Structure 1
Amino acid sequence: MGAVPHENQLKPGLKRRHLTMLSLGGVIGAGLFVGSSAIISQAGPLAFITYGLTGLIVLFVMRMLGEMAAAKPCSGSFTDYARMAWGEWAGFSTGWLYWYFWVIVVGFEAVVGGQMINKWIPAVPVWVIALALMIIMTAVNLLSVGAFGEAEYWFAGIKVVAILAFLTVATLFVLGLWPGASMDFSNVTDHGGLLPNGLATLFVGVVVVIFSMTGVEVVTIAAAESAEPARAIRKAVNSVIFRILAFFITSTFLIVVIVPWDSVIPGESPFVAALDRIGIPGSANLLNLVILVAVLSVLNSGLYTSSRLLFVMGGRGDAPAWMTTTNKRGVPVKGILSCTVVGYGCVVLAALFPDTVFLFLINASGAVFLFVYFMICISELRLRRRWEKEDPNILQFRMWLYPALPILVTVAIVTVLVSMGLREANRIELFQGLAVWVALTMIYLVRKRMQKSETRPEQGPDEKSETIAAPAPTLNS
Structure 2
Amino acid sequence: MTSQDTLSKEGGQPDEPGKPQPDGPSGDHLRAGLKNRHLSMIAIGGVIGAGLFVGSASGIRAAGPAILISYALVGVMVVLVMRMLGEMAAAHPASGSFSEYADRALGRWAGFSIGWLYWFFWVVVLAVEATAGAVILEGWIPAVPQWAWALIVMVVLTGTNLVSVGSFGEFEFWFAGVKVVAIAAFIAIGLLAAFGLLPGSDNPGAGFAHLTDTGGFFPEGYGAILTGVLMVVFSFMGSEIVTLAAGESPDPQRAVTRATNSVIWRIAVFYLGSILVVLLLLPWNDPAITEDGSYVAALESIGIPHAGQIMNVVVLTAVLSCLNSGLYTASRMAFSLGRRGDAPGAFARTDGRGVPRAAILASVLFGFVAVFFNYRWPDTVFAFLLNSSGAVALFVWLVICCTQLRMRGITEREAPERLVVRMWLFPWLTRATIGMIVFVLVYMVFDDAAREQVLLSLLVAGVVVTIAVVRERARARRAPRTR
Aligned equivalents of 2:364 and 2:228: distance in 1?
32
Please name the residue that 1:218 is paired with: 241
Opposite residue 85 of structure 1, the aligned amino acid is A
Q: Distance in 2 between matches of 1:392 and 1:223?
A: 21
Distance in structure 1 (CA, Å) of the matches to 2:50 and 2:114: 25
> Is the CA contact 2:348–2:356 (under 8 Å) kept in the aligned structure 1?
yes
SS in 1 for 2:449: helix
- Structure 1: runs of 5 or more not aligned: 460-477
Give the secondary-structure state (helix, strand or coil) at the position aligned to 2:326. Answer: helix
Check if 1:79 corresponds to 2:114: no
Partners of 2:194 and 2:62 in 1: how far apart?
23
1:66-110 Cα deviation digits (max 9, x unpaired): 011111212211011111111111111011111111111111111
Q: Structure 1 CA distance, aligned partners of 2:133 and 2:246? A: 28
Correspondences of 1:166-181 after superposition (within 5 Å):
166-179=186-199, 180=201, 181=203
1:415 alignment partner in structure 2? 439
Shift of 1:322: 1.1
1:137 to 141, 146, 157: 157
Within the candidate set 67, 76, 96, 2:116 is matched to: 96
Q: Does 1:379 align with 2:399?
A: no
Residue 48 of structure 2 is matched in structure 1 by 28
1:283 aligns with 2:307: yes
User: One-letter code of the match for 2:231?
Assistant: V
> Match for residue 59 of structure 2?
39
Name the residue aligned to 1:404: 428
Distance 1:266 1:369 in 2: 26
Letter in structure 1 aligned against 2:232: V
Say if 2:274 is the partner of 1:239.
no
1:155-214 Cα deviation digits (max 9, x unpaired): 000111111110111010012101255541332222111111111111232122121011
Give, in whole Å, the separation in 1 of the partners of 2:126 and 2:264.
23
Q: 1:12 aligns with which of 28, 32, 42?
A: 32
Aligned AA (1:343): G
| Alignment TM-score, normalising by the size of structure 2 | 0.91
Of residues 99, 104, 114, the one that matches 2:134 is 114
**Matches of residues 460-471 of structure 1 in structure 2 within 5 Å?**
none
Q: CA deviation at 1:424?
A: 1.1
Q: Structure 2 CA distance, aligned partners of 1:385 and 1:453? A: 30
Q: Distance in 2 between matches of 1:125 and 1:355?
A: 20
Q: Quick one: distance in 1 between partners of 2:379 and 2:476?
A: 46
Whether the 8 Å CA contact 1:23–1:215 is kept in 2: the answer is: no
Using a 3 Å threshold, how does the CA distance of structure 1 residues 123 and 81 change in structure 2: closer, same or farther?
A: same
Query: C-alpha displacement at 1:385, in angstroms?
Result: 2.5
Which among 147, 150, 159 is matched to residue 179 of structure 2?
A: 159
TM-score (norm 1): 0.92
The verdict on how the C-alpha distance between 1:176 and 1:128 changes in structure 2, with shifts beyond 3 A counting, is: same
The answer to whether the 8 Å contact 2:370/2:382 transfers is: no
The aligned runs of 1:42-57 (5 Å cut-off) are 42-57=62-77
State the aligned residue count: 459
Determine if the alignment matches structure 1 residue 312 to structure 2 residue 332. no
Aligned residues of 1:6 and 1:328 also touching (Cα < 8 A): no
- Check the 8 A contact 2:391/2:453 in 1, yes or no: yes
Q: Deviations over 1:231-268 (max 9, x none)?
A: 11001221244223211101111111111111254474
Q: 2:309 corresponds to which letter in structure 1?
A: N
Amino acid at match of 1:310: A
Relative distance call for 1:208 and 1:249 in structure 2 (3 A) is: same
Distance in 2, matches of 1:241 and 1:454, equals 48
Of residues 197, 206, 210 in structure 1, which corresponds to 2:220? 197
What is the 5 A alignment of 1:315-326?
Answer: 315-326=339-350
> Counterpart of 1:63?
83
Q: 1: distance between equivalents of 2:269 and 2:275?
A: 10
1:471 aligned residue: none
